[in-house]
């Protein structure tokens, strides 16, 4: 039985990756900052395993992206590394380095440990944020894996910088220090879909906000969306597909405006009060002066990006769950796990 070291196993995406790996017959060594969370993770995974006995193939190791302690021991005997752990804030930090350094240093720490332990197969969770913060190439209507976010862009966020720099650091490390390492990056868009438990981090906070009807109007922004189940499946298939080695692979289904997401939830849950009215962009810019969460999205007002998922569909055979279904599944999770 092959062992995969899965970093950040308590995360929203990582828990789904753990389910996929265990169901596919792998042993999973999951890293957490605090092993007290082990039972929480097991409880989340158990109902989704095709064979409940496979839970005995899940073990835990304490690791911190910011420290070297334990990485050598965690990698010992592993056949592959699936590195999902990386900070993802709802509000951009005042000091971008607070986000950039953990993302870059954590990625390099994981890759160095894998290289030193002769773990040659690595699947890294990057992001579409490392792809789409750049102008479209001439003649294109969507971004693809050839695109990289422009670190010099005046509108690039700290999060996009962190994901771009971390992924570039990974490819540079393989090219310069570990040429035999077989690296694949998965670049998901805005990840929605069902949560396995109430500890789903930042990803579904946007859905929480829609369900709360706290905002009288919605900003005119759009998101490329992917279901977390497809993201996890892409990680598993990348691990098993030799043709994926050396590739960036975008995980995206389609794009929706914020009001379209709200409407999808409203259609699914007509008894809930869901706001769908759109706010003027000028008003949002004024509100952004006083609200840090709104300030984060001001550069995206009136903008919607599209990404090309051809590589994921052809190379990995992913048949993506529609974006609206991902939105509704996320809303169902929030309603079920955190009822009003």
Q: Report the catalytic residues.
A: 163
Q: What secondary structure does DSSP assign to 34-65, as a single string? A: -GGGHHHHHHHHGGG-SSGGGGGGEEEEE--T
Strand 222-227's sheet: what is its strand order? Answer: 190-192, 222-227, 254-257
Residue 193, token pair as written in the block: 């879909």
Tokens of 20: 């996929």
Look at phi and psi of residue 213 and say left if phi exceeds 0, alpha if psi is from -120 to 50, else beta. left
Query: Are the C-beta atoms of residues 213 and 273 closer than 8 Å to each other?
Result: yes
CA 25-28-29 angle, to 5 degrees, is 160
H or E segment to which residue 6 belongs: strand 3-7
Q: Which two tokens stand for residue 298?
A: 């001001």
């Amino acid at each position: 039985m092959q062992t995969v070291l899965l970093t950040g196993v308590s995360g929203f995406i990582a828990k789904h990756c753990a389910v996929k790996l265990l169901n596919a017959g792998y042993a999973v060594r999951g890293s957490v900052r605090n092993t007290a969370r082990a039972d929480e993770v097991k409880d989340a995974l158990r109902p989704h395993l095709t064979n409940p006995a496979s839970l005995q193939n899940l073990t835990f190791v304490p690791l911190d992206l910011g420290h070297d302690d334990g990485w050598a021991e965690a990698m010992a005997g592993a056949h592959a590394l699936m590195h999902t752990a990386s900070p993802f804030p709802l509000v951009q930090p005042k000091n971008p380095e607070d986000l950039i350094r953990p993302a870059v240093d954590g990625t390099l720490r994981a890759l160095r440990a894998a290289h030193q332990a002769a773990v040659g197969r690595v699947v890294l969770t990057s992001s579409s944020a490392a792809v789409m913060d750049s102008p479209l190439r001439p003649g294109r209507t969507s971004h693809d894996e050839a695109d990289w976010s422009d670190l010099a862009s005046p509108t690039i966020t700290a999060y996009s910088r962190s994901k771009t720099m971390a992924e570039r650091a990974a490819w540079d490390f393989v090219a310069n220090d570990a040429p035999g390492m077989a690296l694949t990056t998965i670049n998901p868009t805005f990840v929605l879909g069902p949560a396995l438990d109430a500890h789903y981090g930042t990803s579904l906070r946007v859905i929480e906000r829609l369900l709360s009807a706290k905002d009288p109007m919605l900003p005119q922004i759009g998101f490329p969306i992917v279901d977390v189940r497809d993201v996890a499946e892409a990680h598993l298939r990348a691990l098993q597909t030799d043709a994926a080695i050396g590739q960036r692979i975008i995980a995206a289904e389609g794009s929706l405006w914020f009001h379209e997401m709200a409407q999808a939830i409203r259609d699914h849950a007509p008894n809930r009060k869901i706001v769908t009215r759109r706010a003027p962009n000028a008003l949002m810019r004024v509100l952004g002066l006083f609200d840090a969460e709104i300030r984060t999205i001001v550069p995206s007002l009136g903008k919607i990006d599209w990404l090309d998922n051809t590589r994921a569909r052809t190379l990995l055979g992913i048949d993506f769950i529609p974006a609206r279904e991902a939105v509704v599944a996320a809303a169902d999770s929030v309603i079920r796990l955190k009822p009003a």
